[in-house]
Amino acid sequence: MKLKYIDLFCGIGGFHKAFDEIKCNSKCLFACDIDKNCREIYKQNFNIEPMVNIKDIDCDTFKGKIDIFCGGFPCQAFSNAGNKKTFNDERGLLFNEIIRLAEIYNPKIMFLENVKHILKVGNGEVIKYIMEKLNDTGYKTQIFNMSPHNYGIPQQRERIYFVCIKDSIYNNVDITLPKYTGGNMDFTTFLENEENIDEKYFISGDILECLEAWDEMIKMFEVNEKISPVIMINEAYNNHTEEDYNNYPKWKQDYITKNKPLIKKYKPIFDKWYKKHKNILQKREIYGKLEWQVGKIKENDSIFNYFIQIRQSGIRVKKAQYFPTLVAISQIPIYGKQKRYITPRECARLQSFPDNFILSKNDKHSYKQLGNSINVNNAKIIIKSTLEHYKLL
């Protein structure tokens, strides 16, 4: 039996690649995505020209012929990185397009994916709405919270998978996923050879100057010093008045208050260091914020011992165990040890795309596409477990 599926909000084809790797005698009937650059990459890899808009799908062409829907419906309305407008955002309403098509095509199974925060936003009203719509359309839905790092891929990226089973085939037994038994992960096996990496990926200019400034300060702290959660050094030296302070948002007041004991303890050192580096620390607001998420200061510690992201909230430093979550916006992880951004090919590996998968020649497009993509390995586990459970393999 050939399983026929459609790939909605297909991106660069994470679900399609998962089906291909399962080798389950499947066929993609069509795909769609609003992003022109994604459609180009999808066509290069799968020889299918995706449609542009889910709202324009011809309802009659494949009626009665589709077994499975898959799609990571737009998450910007629900994610932490977005503004969480939920269904007030047109992108959030695109979930209703899936329901519209499900009512017409009646697929046996739907595999849907979104960010984990979809469970909480809108005080739980969003997930309640989704589950009610799926139920009213005739689907029993099981939810899985997965991350690549649960299955041997060193990227912490929690995502929610909805496995929706049509009432007519539902067997009233939960699907179980296999447990990872592969042992410890070595993130360095996902890296390209340093000598082969283009010079453009190595940090320089303001970014390097800023990180080296902070590294100088890190080396001045005592071993076992606690410097988290966030050092907002410019606020310690901006001579704000009490009125200014009272007008700051609560989160900013809290950080300033929590910073005071550390600033006081190392004041002579901070004074000299800040005077030396204030030009770069003040050049952008985020340069003056250090989010140290790696615990107490260790012997011979350095900011370059870790992964680093230049985020809207500041400079985030995380343990060099898992890669930070890849995101569509410009927060490309920096591998501190080599003082460079991870490459698009390394991002593709973290999303479980094989090295023969064709990426965009435009790095900006690749980073965005891979940040938006589902993880192929996680999708493969979900799909394979479901098809085996319902004896469709």
The residues annotated with a catalytic role in the active site are 75
Cα dihedral 225, 229, 234, 236, rounded to 10, equals -60
The answer to whether 249 and 325 are in contact (CB under 8 A) is no
Instruction: Dump the DSSP string for 286-342.
Output: GGGEEEEES-S--TT--GGGSEEEEETTEEEEE-BTBBPPP-SSS-PPEEGGGTEEP
Q: 19: closest CA among 8, 9, 30, 28? A: 28
**Owner of token pair 């998450």:** 75
Q: Report the distance separating Cα 21 and Cα 380, nearest Å.
A: 8
Nearest to 303 by CA among 288, 318, 286: 318
Q: How far apart are CA 339 and CA 157, in angstroms?
A: 23
Per DSSP bridges, beta strands 334-335 and 340-341 are antiparallel
Residue with tokens 């004896």: 391
Sort 43 into a burial class: Cβ within 10 Å, 0-12 / 13-18 / 19+. Answer: middle
Strands (E), the chain: 3-8, 26-31, 68-71, 109-115, 139-146, 159-166, 230-232, 289-293, 307-311, 314-318, 334-335, 340-341
Helix axes 14-22, 36-46, angle to 10 degrees: 20
- The first and second tokens of residue 57, run together, are 């799908």
Asked if 7 contacts 30 with a C-beta cutoff of 8 angstroms, the reply is: yes
